[in-house]
Structure 1
């Protein structure tokens, strides 16, 4: 793995991360059906992820816990105003919209990453990259198009806010944490995200001992499969690829979510949805194979 081409390694890292993120809806659906609220779920998810990471690193890699004051401050800001803020907005959207519409709004974030990157950084969008983005976005609409329901109009704003805030998180993470060990960065981002969510949502941690088996399983799955592993790999990929490439490759997430929904919840995928998944896959492969390397991706 260490001898692998950095761009290929980064592509594999973000692909695995996207698969992990794709299980968010599965564990989230189980948790909500079992009676957990948005605030409880997010707080428990990030708190458990932080505890697991701290225990692992202190036991096996204590030197990896050390980080400069500057990078701790950066990780704190990314955890509080990035991940905690984004997660709250997204699950608020899920609570007030159909899952389909919430997902469609969230996955406008590769568009925002490309726009912000084009106008505020030196990474300008090429014609090929723009074409791949349009193709992948079209495939996304085909894949996720279905039941559209709006229970709360503010949830639409929350969905768009989640996409924009996550786009900013991806861009800033890729530029401010280039030389930080990914798992160390993830440790502090998750920890400060957990603190912010706990202060905002005021969950009753004393009630953890009363969680049902399905609730405990959902929280553990969210903490490990959907937080520790993918967040660490995403940060690692951002050190090797452009933010725009990472954002586009993360469209593997809705493909994973759709396939897992079909396998676990027996949701039927129509021919149009399957075609949409193929269009997304073709766009991602094309963009990955023919993307121009840049100094920032080294």
Structure 2
């Protein structure tokens, strides 16, 4: 059934990606509590993810490593100016605003995807899509509303910048990587992202061997669960769904993060947060069911 229904496969893939990305805050919280810095975690995360994919493909699918010079160049741009910039700006935002506000700023990226799609491509936003997006953003505010703190205007700008950088990454990936295997695209995007992050944060990779078993587990988990799997799933879904639909569906990420936080950290969810999660889910279901099959 799924073989003959690429749209359904795309929806399942983006759901898996949202689940994986939803664990990012969980692993991040554990890693920071264990003593890892932001620069170390980001650099180790992407470096390890790149090494793991290179090893896997060279051992089992060496032909999949081949990519045209044009696509390698595009992957480099996506990795450096997309993922590396987005990740760095997001964590820079956390330094100057509360985590709640940083998350709300980041998850405005479906709005930016729709705006850019409407004005710079032929994919105009419909009234139903605008309604679903507005409802999802309202649900997001209810879900993430909490302690709002702003220590610097730069941090707010960085938070918005992270959303815009990720929106551009999603749009360009959906437009220019339709013919590339998702895992191959992931390989080069993560590799160039790792190089950019290592150059920016300059961590001491020699200290990797001194990581505690817990720290090593967190880095491995964030590399596989929150990087390799979701990034590959997003790129695969972008070959089957429109960019703005993928962006809207990934708003399940904060819902996943909130519920996993409640389960793993025994964080209580208020009635307004539950209502926000319900509104997001309803908006995504309505938007998905209202689409015609390919």
User: Which bin holds the TM-score, normalised by the shorter protein?
Assistant: over 0.9
Which residue pairs with 2:61 in the alignment? 61
Which residue pairs with 1:230 in the alignment? 230
Which residue pairs with 1:248 in the alignment? 248
Matched, 1:155 2:160: no
1:135-162 alpha-carbon deviations (Å, 9 max, x no partner):
1111111111011122343211111100
Q: Is the 8 A contact 2:2 2:8 kept in 1?
A: no
1:7-58 alpha-carbon deviations (Å, 9 max, x no partner):
1111110111011001110111111122212111110000000000001111
Which residue pairs with 1:95 in the alignment? 95
3-state SS of 2:179 partner: coil
Which residue pairs with 2:141 in the alignment? 141
Q: Is the 8 A contact 1:43 1:201 kept in 2?
A: yes
- Measured in 2, the distance between the counterparts of 1:153 and 1:70 equals 38
Q: Is the 8 A contact 2:20 2:226 kept in 1?
A: yes
Which residue pairs with 1:219 in the alignment? 219
Which residue pairs with 1:190 in the alignment? 190
- Measured in 1, the distance between the counterparts of 2:182 and 2:32 equals 31
Q: Is the 8 A contact 2:58 2:65 kept in 1?
A: yes
Over aligned residue pairs, what C-alpha RMSD do you find?
A: 1.1
- Measured in 1, the distance between the counterparts of 2:290 and 2:31 equals 41
How does 1:11-50 map onto structure 2 within 5 Å? 11-50=11-50
- Measured in 2, the distance between the counterparts of 1:92 and 1:289 equals 37
- Measured in 2, the distance between the counterparts of 1:240 and 1:25 equals 28
Question: Structure 1 length normalisation: TM-score?
Answer: 0.96
Matched, 1:277 2:260: no
Q: Is the 8 A contact 1:38 1:92 kept in 2?
A: no
1:221-270 alpha-carbon deviations (Å, 9 max, x no partner):
11000000000000000001111000000001000000011011111100
- Runs (4 or more) in structure 1 with deviation over 3 Å come to none
- Measured in 1, the distance between the counterparts of 2:185 and 2:267 equals 37
Which residue pairs with 1:108 in the alignment? 108
- Measured in 2, the distance between the counterparts of 1:152 and 1:260 equals 30
3-state SS of 2:118 partner: helix
- Measured in 1, the distance between the counterparts of 2:201 and 2:259 equals 32
Q: Is the 8 A contact 1:14 1:233 kept in 2?
A: yes
Question: Structure 2 length normalisation: TM-score?
Answer: 0.97
Which residue pairs with 1:264 in the alignment? 264
- Measured in 2, the distance between the counterparts of 1:14 and 1:216 equals 27
Matched, 1:85 2:78: no
Task: Count matched residues.
Answer: 294
Matched, 1:74 2:62: no
- Measured in 1, the distance between the counterparts of 2:95 and 2:249 equals 26
Q: Is the 8 A contact 2:139 2:278 kept in 1?
A: yes
Shift of 1:2: 5.5
